[in-house]
Amino acid sequence: MTVSSNMQLRCELCQIEINENADRGDEVLFSRGATGSRSKLWARVCQYLKTDEQKASCINQDVSKRGTEMPGDRYEEIALVEVEGTQAES
Residue 38, burial from CB neighbour count under 10 angstroms (0-12, 13-18, 19+): buried
Kindly state the smallest distance separating residue 54's Cβ from Zn ion, in Å.
Answer: 8
Q: Which of 36, 38, 60, 73 binds Zn ion (CB under 5 A)?
A: 60
Nearer of residues 43 and 46 to Zn ion, judged by Cβ: 46
**Apex CA 36: angle with CA 51 and CA 38, to 5°?**
40
Q: Is 39 in the site for Zn ion (CB under 5 A)?
A: no
The dihedral through the CA atoms of 81, 32, 40, 42 has a sign that is positive
Nearest alpha-carbon partner for 55 in 13, 5, 9: 13
Q: Determine contact, residues 13/61, Cβ cutoff 8 Å.
A: no
Q: Which of 18, 28, 43, 58 binds Zn ion (CB under 5 A)?
A: 58
Q: Is 14 in the site for Zn ion (CB under 5 A)?
A: yes
Stretch that binds Zn ion, among 2-10, 17-25, 51-59, 63-71 (CB under 5 A): 51-59
Q: Is 18 in the site for Zn ion (CB under 5 A)?
A: no
Contacts with Zn ion by CB under 5 A lie at: 11, 14, 46, 58, 60
